[in-house]
Amino acid sequence: MTIAQTFAPDQGQRQPATPRKPRLDPIRAVRGLKRLIADKEDTGQVFEIMRALSGRSFAKGYARMLRTPQGGRQAYLRDEFADRLHDTAWLESLPPASVGAAYRDFVAARAISAYGLAEESRKLPDVNMDAAHPMAWYVRRLRDVHDIWHVLTGYGTDTLGEACLVAFSHGQTRNAGFAFIAAGAAWQFEKPRAGQPYARAIAQAWAHGRRAAWLPALDYETLLARPLDAARAELNIRPPTIYDAVPPGARDVPRR
Residue 190, pLDDT > 70, answer yes
Give Cα 247 distance to the centre of its chain.
Answer: 24
Mean pLDDT for 123-140 is 88
Rounded Cα–Cα distance for residues 110 and 99 (Å) = 17
- pLDDT of 254 reads 67
Rounded Cα–Cα distance for residues 57 and 20 (Å) = 13
- pLDDT of 22 reads 65
Q: 114-119 — which CB contacts under 8 Å span 24+ positions?
A: 114/81, 114/82, 114/85, 114/86, 114/144, 114/147, 115/82, 115/86, 117/1, 117/2, 117/43, 117/82, 117/143, 117/144, 117/146, 117/147, 118/82, 118/143, 118/144
Residues in contact with 147: Cβ distance below 8 Å, sequence separation at least 6, in sequence order: 103, 106, 107, 112, 114, 117
Angle formed by the axes of helices 159-173 and 176-190, nearest 10°: 150
Categorize the per-residue pLDDT at 18 as very low, low, confident or very high, splitting at 50, 70 and 90. Answer: very low
Mean pLDDT across the chain, nearest whole number? 88
- pLDDT of 192 reads 57
- pLDDT of 224 reads 98
Angle formed by the axes of helices 114-121 and 146-153, nearest 10°: 130
* Residue 227 main-chain phi, psi, to 5 deg: -60, 135
Check residues 187 and 106 and name the one with the higher pLDDT: 106
Q: Do 188 and 253 form a contact (C-beta atoms < 8 A)?
A: yes
228, amino acid identity: L
Q: Do 208 and 240 form a contact (C-beta atoms < 8 A)?
A: yes
Bridge partners, 98 (sequence order): 227
Categorize the per-residue pLDDT at 125 as very low, low, confident or very high, splitting at 50, 70 and 90. Answer: confident
- pLDDT of 10 reads 43
pLDDT tens digits, one per residue of 209-246: 999 999 999 999 999 999 999 999 999 999 999 999 99
Find, among 6, 12, 128, the residue nearest to 61 by Cα. Answer: 6
Other C-beta atoms lying within 10 Å of the C-beta of residue 126: 10
pLDDT tens digits, one per residue of 70-124: 999 999 999 999 999 999 999 999 999 999 999 999 999 999 999 999 998 888 8
Which of 28-37, 189-198, 219-228 is most confident? 219-228
